[in-house]
Amino acid sequence: MAVGKNTLMDPKVDYVFKLIFGLDKDECKIALRGLLNSILNLEDKIKEIVYLNPYLDKQYEEDKQSILDIKVKTNKGEKIDIEMQLVSYENLKKRFLYYWSKLYIDDFKSGEDYEKLNKVIQIIIVKDDLIKETKKYHTKYKIKEVEENFEYINDMELHIIELGKFFENEKNVEKMDRLERWLTFLKDADDESKRKVIEKIIEREEEIKMAHETLEQVSQDDIERDRALRRAIFLSDMTSMRNEARRKGLAEGKEKGREEGREEGREEGKRKRDRMIVINMLNNNLTKDQIADYTGLSKEEIDEAVNRVREED
C-alpha cells in the first residue's frame, strides 16, 4: 500500500478496486466493462452494465468488514460478480462456490418459474497462488459431464485469476494481450518503478486509461486514502490471525499425532485452528454471516467452535 500523498493507492486492495470500478459513474462503468470483456473474452461483448451494489461511503462506514465485491447485471440479463481477494485461506474455494450459489438464487422467490434463474458468472482475482494443479494464472470452471465433457447447464461459470502466477515482465507491452495489460495495471499501478510500463499500457488502452485516471483522483482524496489504509490493515490482521491459528493448530496437531496417530492429530489440529479463527473474528466484531463468508465454515460449525471454546474455558 503506497503511503505518500503523490503516490497511487494499490488497486489490489479490495476497497481501492471498488473505488476504481464500482462507482456509479460512466468512466467506472466503461473501465469495468473493458476489464470484464478482457477476462470473459466473449464474442458478443458486454455493452451495458447496471450496478447491483454500487459503492456507498455510508455503507462502508457502517460495515468496514464486509466483502467488497462488485455485482452487475449485463444487457443480456446475466449477473456478474467480480472480487479482488488479497487474503487466502484453506476454505477459500468452498467460499467462492457458496457465494456463487447465493447469487444464483438471490432474487428468486418461492413458487416462481425456474426459467427466471439467470446465469451467474463469478470472477475472483487473488493475490497468491490458489490452484495448485496448474501453472495457468487464469482458470475457468463450469459444470460438465466427466467423460464426454459436455455442459450440464450454462448457468454456472467461475473464473479465478492468480496474480502470483502472472509474470508480465516476460512480455513487452506490444506483445501483451488485453487481459495481460489489465493485469499488469492491477498488479503494478502503484509501483513507481513500473511507471513507464503503465504509461505505455494506458497509451494503448483507453479503458485502462480511464481506470488509471480514476485511481489518480481517488489517490488524492485524504479520506479515501485513510479508508484504504484501514482496510489494508484489517486484511493484514485477518491474515495474521489465520496464520497464527494455523501455526498453533499444526503444533497441537503434531503433538496429538505423536500420541494418538497422525491422522487424528491433523483433524484435531484443524478443528482447533478453526475454533481459534472463529473466536478471533468474533472478538474483532465480525458477524457469523461474515465469518461464514470469509472461512467457508457453516453456521453450525461456527456455533460448535464457540461452544467447544466455552467448554474448555
Q: Give the pLDDT confidence of 201-210 residue by residue, as tens digits.
A: 999 999 999 9
Q: What is the pLDDT of residues 57-76, one digit of tens each?
A: 655 555 555 667 899 999 88
Q: Is residue 302 scored above 50 in pLDDT?
A: yes
Q: What is the pLDDT of residues 244-278, one digit of tens each?
A: 666 666 566 555 655 555 565 567 667 777 777 77
> What does the pLDDT read at residue 4?
47
More confident residue, 30 or 234: 30
| Highest mean pLDDT pick, 22-26, 63-67, 211-215 | 211-215
State how far the Cα of 233 lies from the Cα of 182, in Å rounded to an integer: 25
Q: Give the confidence band of 95 by pLDDT, cuts at 50, 70, 90.
A: confident
Per cent of the chain over pLDDT 90 is 42
Q: What is the pLDDT of residues 146-194, one digit of tens each?
A: 999 999 999 999 999 999 899 765 568 888 999 999 999 999 999 998 8
> What does the pLDDT read at residue 163?
92
Q: Give the confidence band of 93 by pLDDT, cuts at 50, 70, 90.
A: confident
> What does the pLDDT read at residue 110?
83
**Average per-residue pLDDT for the chain:** 82
> What does the pLDDT read at residue 3?
41
Q: Is residue 198 scored above 50 in pLDDT?
A: yes
More confident residue, 61 or 19: 19
State how far the Cα of 148 lies from the Cα of 166, in Å rounded to an integer: 31
State how far the Cα of 33 lies from the Cα of 138, in Å rounded to an integer: 18
Per cent of the chain over pLDDT 70 is 79
Q: Is residue 144 scored above 60 in pLDDT?
A: yes
CB atoms within 10 A of CB 132: 6
With beta carbons less than 8 A apart as the criterion, state whether 224 and 41 touch: no
Q: Is residue 297 scored above 50 in pLDDT?
A: yes
